[in-house]
Structures are given as C-alpha cells and as structure tokens.
C-alpha cells in the first residue's frame, strides 16, 4: 500500500491561526498591563501556561505549510496527524466517524488502547484527562477541515486504509494458523 500525503488547506489554516494567535496575545497583554496588579500578572502567567502547547503547535503547522509538508500522512502501519503531532496505528483504531463541531469537520477515532495514544500527548491537562477513571468519553479527533481536499474524500481514504489494513491482518493471521 502506497503512502498518501494530504497537504494543509492554507487559507483556513492561516485564518484560524491568525485569529487564535491575535486573540491569545491580546488577552495576555491586556491582563499583563491591567490596573489590577498583581492579579493581572498571575492571570497572564496562567494564560501562557494553558496556551503554550497550542501556540507551539500552531506555529509548527504554519511552518510545515510554508515548507509544503503534509498535514496528514497515511502509511501501511499508521495514520500520522501532523496537525496535532500524533501517530495512531491502524491496529489501535476500533471505529471511525466524521463529526462537525462549530463549522469544522473532524475524523473521530475510537481507540482500542487509549494509553498508547496518551503517551504521545504533550501538555499537562491532556495527560491528566486520560488518567481519569473513564477516559472512553474523551474524543480522539483530527480536524480535516484544515486539510486540502473534500472532507468526505479524505475521510473515505482514511477509512479505506484502515479497512485494507484490517483485511491484510485478518488474512495474515489466518494463513499462519495451523490447520
């Protein structure tokens, strides 16, 4: 199976990133220079801590877009979401679906082993969410509205890759079993 690479949808990526970065930096600056000191400095510090990983990820995605690197990569072994810097192995995906949240389209993954996924997360809050007693309700999703192409075609390609991998594993497992 050949690798499939999907580039970023530049206009949406740059628009969403600019809005996020401008609002975040304005909030930080407004709290830093507010009249309610030292509360403003403390609040600005917490805003920086909470948004640090998202700011890094946004800048990384803008850089990857400028370098014409892919947003999503499908290989024989895994689905690599460069947007969130997450690798999901095909054997770990139980179900796939498409969801829409506030005008953005996502591929929603239901995983067999969420601990394998959680090890890749950066950020204190993200890791804590997966240590809660019932992390099954936490959505694992990739925003495909940031990827160039029709959302349905991208989802279908991901689905076909997963199904082909399941079929290959099924055939391999059955051919190696003794009769």
Phi, psi (deg, nearest 5) at residue 178: -70, 150
- Residue 80 DSSP label: E
For the record, the structure tokens of 160 come out as: 């076909």
- Across 88-108, average pLDDT: 88
pLDDT (0 to 100) of residue 63: 96
Q: How confident is the model at residue 2 (pLDDT cuts 50, 70, 90)?
A: confident
**Best-predicted range by mean pLDDT (14-18, 129-133, 139-143, 154-158):** 14-18
pLDDT (0 to 100) of residue 91: 85
pLDDT (0 to 100) of residue 175: 56
Q: What is the pTM of this model?
A: 0.77
Locate the domains of the chain by residue range: 8-66, 72-176
- Please give the C-alpha separations between residue 165 and each of 78, 81, 85, 87, 97, in angstroms, as whole numbers: 9, 18, 22, 16, 17
Q: How do beta strands 104-111 and 93-101 pair? A: antiparallel
Sign of CA pseudo-dihedral 58, 64, 67, 70: negative
Burial readout 37-62 (b: 16 or more C-beta within 10 A, e: otherwise)? eeebeebbeebeeebebebebbeebb
pLDDT (0 to 100) of residue 165: 77
pLDDT (0 to 100) of residue 141: 85
- Across 60-82, average pLDDT: 92
pLDDT (0 to 100) of residue 101: 87
Higher pLDDT, 120 or 157: 157
pLDDT (0 to 100) of residue 147: 92
For the record, the structure tokens of 150 come out as: 């029709």
| Cβ proximity of 78 and 30 under 8 Å | no
Report the alpha-carbon angle 155-156-158, nearest 5. Answer: 65
pLDDT (0 to 100) of residue 129: 67
| Cβ proximity of 79 and 90 under 8 Å | yes
Q: What percent of the chain has pLDDT over 70?
A: 82
Q: How confident is the model at residue 109 (pLDDT cuts 50, 70, 90)?
A: confident
| Cβ proximity of 161 and 90 under 8 Å | yes
Q: How far apart are CA 18 and CA 58, in angstroms?
A: 9
pLDDT at 176 over 80: no
| pLDDT tens, residue by residue, 5-57 | 999 999 999 999 999 999 999 999 999 888 878 888 888 899 998 889 889 99
């Amino acid at each position: 199976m050949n690798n499939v690479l999907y580039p970023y949808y530049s206009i949406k990526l740059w628009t969403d990133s600019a809005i996020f970065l401008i609002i975040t930096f304005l909030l930080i600056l407004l709290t830093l220079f507010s009249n309610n000191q030292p509360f403003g400095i403390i609040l600005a510090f917490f805003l920086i801590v909470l948004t640090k990983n998202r700011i890094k990820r946004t800048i990384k995605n803008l850089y990857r877009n400028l370098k014409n690197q892919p947003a999503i990569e499908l290989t024989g072994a895994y689905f690599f979401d460069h947007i969130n810097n997450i690798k999901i192995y095909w054997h770990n995906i139980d179900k796939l679906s498409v969801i829409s949240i506030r005008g953005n389209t996502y591929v929603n993954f239901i995983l067999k082993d969420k601990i394998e996924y959680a090890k890749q997360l950066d950020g204190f809050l993200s890791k804590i969410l997966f240590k809660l007693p019932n992390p099954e309700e936490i959505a694992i999703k990739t925003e495909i509205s940031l990827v160039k192409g029709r959302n349905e075609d991208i989802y279908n390609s991901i689905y076909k890759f997963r199904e082909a991998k399941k079929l290959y594993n099924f055939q391999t497992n059955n051919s190696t079993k003794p009769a």
